[in-house]
Amino acid sequence: MNAAAFETIFEKQPEVVGFAPGRVNLIGEHTDYNGGHVFPCALQMGITCAAARRTDGTLRFVSENFCSTGIVEYALADLSPQGVWADYPVGVIRAFAAYGYPLEHGADFYFSGDLPDGAGLSSSAALEVVTGTVLRDLFSLPVTKQEIALIGQFAENRFIGVNCGIMDQFASAMGKSGCAILLHAGTLAYEYAPLGSAALVIVNSGVKHSLAASAYNDRRRECEAACSALRVSTLCALTPEEFERNRHLISDPVCRKRAKHVIYENRRALDGAAALRRGDLAAFGALMNASHASLRDDYEVSCAELDFLAETAQKIDGVYGARMTGGGFGGCTVNLMEPAAVERFVTTMQAAYAERFGFVPEIYPITAADGARSERV
Residues with active-site annotation:
168
Question: With respect to ligand GLA, which residue has the nearer C-beta, 147 or 156?
Answer: 156
Question: With respect to ligand GLA, which residue has the nearer C-beta, 106 or 206?
Answer: 206
Q: Is 321 in the site for ligand GLA (CB under 6 A)?
A: no
- Residues of this chain, 188-247, that bind ligand GLA according to CB under 6 A: none
Question: With respect to ligand GLA, which residue has the nearer C-beta, 52 or 119?
Answer: 119
Question: With respect to ligand GLA, which residue has the nearer C-beta, 50 or 336?
Answer: 336
Q: How far is the CB of 164 from ligand GLA (least distance, A)?
A: 3
Q: How far is the CB of 156 from ligand GLA (least distance, A)?
A: 7
Member of 152, 326, 330, 371 binding ligand GLA (CB under 6 A):
326
Question: With respect to ligand GLA, which residue has the nearer C-beta, 175 or 326?
Answer: 326
Closest listed residue to residue 236, CA positions, set 41, 38, 24: 38
Question: With respect to ligand GLA, which residue has the nearer C-beta, 2 or 31?
Answer: 31
- Residues of this chain, 17-46, that bind ligand GLA according to CB under 6 A: 25, 29-30, 32-33
Member of 89, 132, 327, 361 binding ligand GLA (CB under 6 A):
327
Could you write out the three-class secondary structure of the chain? CHHHHHHHHHCCCCCEEEEEEEEEECCCCCCHHHCCEECEEEEEEEEEEEEEECCCCEEEEEECCCHHHCCEEEECCECCCCCCCCHHHHHHHHHHHHCCCCCCCCEEEEEEECCCCCCCCCHHHHHHHHHHHHHHHHCCCCCCHHHHHHHHHHHHHHHHCCCCCCHHHHHHHHCCCCEEEEEECCCCEEEEEECCCCEEEEEECCCCCCCCCCHHHHHHHHHHHHHHHHCCCCHHHCCHHHHHHHHHHCCCHHHHHHHHHHHHHHHHHHHHHHHHHCCCHHHHHHHHHHHHHHHHHCCCCCCHHHHHHHHHHHCCCCEEEEEEECCCCCCEEEEEECHHHHHHHHHHHHHHHHHHHCCCCEEEEECCECCCEEEEC
- Residues of this chain, 265-304, that bind ligand GLA according to CB under 6 A: none
- Residues of this chain, 144-173, that bind ligand GLA according to CB under 6 A: 164-165, 167-168
**Is the backbone of residue 329 left (phi > 0), alpha (psi -120 to 50) or beta?**
left
CA–CA gap between residue 367 and residue 24 (Å, rounded)? 10
Q: How far is the CB of 25 from ligand GLA (least distance, A)?
A: 6
Question: With respect to ligand GLA, which residue has the nearer C-beta, 51 or 227?
Answer: 227
Q: How far is the CB of 168 from ligand GLA (least distance, A)?
A: 4
Q: How far is the CB of 118 from ligand GLA (least distance, A)?
A: 12
Q: What is the CA radius of gyration of the chain?
A: 21
Q: How far is the CB of 321 from ligand GLA (least distance, A)?
A: 17
- Residues of this chain, 89-108, that bind ligand GLA according to CB under 6 A: none
Q: Binders of ligand GLA: how many residues, by CB under 6 A?
A: 11
* Contacts to ligand GLA by CB under 6 A: 25, 29-30, 32-33, 164-165, 167-168, 326-327
